[in-house]
Amino acid sequence: LALAFRHSCPRSHSCPTRRRPAASMVAEPVPMVFKTGSSAGKVKQGKITNEDVLRREVPWSAFKEKGIISKDELELMYQLVEIVQSKSVAAQAALIEMRSAEHAQLFKALLTGVNKDEVVMYILSLLDELLKQKPTLASLFHAALYESGGAIDVFEPMLKLLSRQHLFILEKTTVVLAKLLSWDHYIPPAPNPNLEAALARKLRSFAAWAVALLKNVDPQDGFDQPRVVHVLGGVQQLVSSAPGRIAFVEADGLPLLLGLMSGGHYGTHSAVQLLYVVMVVVWSLSYSPECASKLGHAAGLVPKLVDILKSVQKEKVVRVTCAALRNLVGVGSCSSDMIGAGVMKALLHLQQRKWADEDVKEDVDYLVEALEGSLKSMSSWDVYAKEVASGRLEWSPSHRSDHFWKDNYKAFEQNDGETLKQLVGCLASPDPTTLAVACHDVGELIKVHPEGRRLVAPYQAKAHAMKLLKHEDPEVQKYALTCVQRLMVINWEYLNSGS
Q: Which backbone phi and psi does 273 adopt, to 5 degrees?
A: -65, -40
pLDDT of residue 157: 96
User: In angstroms, rounded to a whole number, what is the distance separating the alpha carbons of residues 56 and 35?
Assistant: 6
Alpha carbon of residue 437 to chain centroid: 31
pLDDT single digits (tens) 65-112 = 999 999 999 999 999 999 988 888 888 888 888 898 999 999 999 999
pLDDT single digits (tens) 405-452 = 999 999 999 999 999 999 999 999 999 999 999 999 999 999 999 999
Q: List for the chain the helix, strand, coil content (%; round to 5).
A: 70, 0, 25
pLDDT of residue 36: 37
Going from the C-alpha of 450 to that of each of 415, 443, 454, the distances in angstroms are 19, 12, 9
Is the pLDDT confidence value at 15 over 50? no
User: In angstroms, rounded to a whole number, what is the distance separating the alpha carbons of residues 202 and 244?
Assistant: 11
pLDDT of residue 491: 43
Instruction: Answer yes or no: are the C-beta atoms of 388 and 37 closer than 8 Å.
Output: no
Q: Which backbone phi and psi does 147 adopt, to 5 degrees?
A: -70, -25
Q: Which backbone phi and psi does 26 adopt, to 5 degrees?
A: -110, 135
Query: What secondary structure letter does DSSP report for 354?
Result: -
Question: Which of 4-13, 195-204, 382-391 is most confident?
Answer: 195-204
pLDDT of residue 218: 75
Classify the C-alpha dihedral 188-193-198-204 as positive or negative: positive
pLDDT of residue 333: 87
Q: Angle between the 315-328 and 301-311 helix axes, to the nearest 10 degrees? A: 150
pLDDT band, residue 265 (cuts 50/70/90): low
Helix (H) or strand (E) holding 361: helix 358-376
Percent of the chain with pLDDT over 70: 87
pLDDT of residue 24: 35
pLDDT of residue 9: 37
Burial status of residue 197 (CB atoms within 10 A of its CB: 0-12, 13-18, 19 or more) = exposed
- The Cβ of residue 95 has, within 10 Å, a number of other Cβ atoms equal to 10
Is the pLDDT confidence value at 228 over 80? yes
pLDDT of residue 341: 87
- The Cβ of residue 345 has, within 10 Å, a number of other Cβ atoms equal to 12
- What's the pTM value of the predicted model, to 2 decimals? 0.76
Q: What is the mean pLDDT of residues 147-171?
A: 94
Is the pLDDT confidence value at 267 over 80? no
Under DSSP, is residue 33 helix (H, G, I), strand (E, B) or coil?
Answer: strand
pLDDT of residue 429: 92
> Helices (DSSP H) in 99-241: which residue ranges?
100-113, 117-133, 138-147, 155-161, 167-182, 193-214, 226-238
pLDDT single digits (tens) 307-347 = 999 989 999 999 999 999 999 999 988 998 899 888 998 99
Going from the C-alpha of 296 to that of each of 107, 169, 285, 335, 446, the distances in angstroms are 42, 36, 11, 9, 33
Q: Which residues of 384-412 are buried (b: 16+ CB within 10 A; e: fewer)?
A: bbbbbbbbbbeebebbeeeebbeebbeeb
Helix (H) or strand (E) holding 390: helix 380-390
pLDDT band, residue 488 (cuts 50/70/90): confident
pLDDT band, residue 398 (cuts 50/70/90): confident
Q: What is the mean pLDDT of residues 343-361?
A: 93
Is the pLDDT confidence value at 227 over 60? yes
Q: What is the mean pLDDT of residues 371-375?
A: 86
- Comparing C-alpha atoms, which of 432, 441, 442, 434 is closest to residue 472? 432
pLDDT band, residue 222 (cuts 50/70/90): low
Residue with the bigger pLDDT between 267 and 170: it is 170
Under DSSP, is residue 26 helix (H, G, I), strand (E, B) or coil?
Answer: strand
Residue with the bigger pLDDT between 27 and 138: it is 138
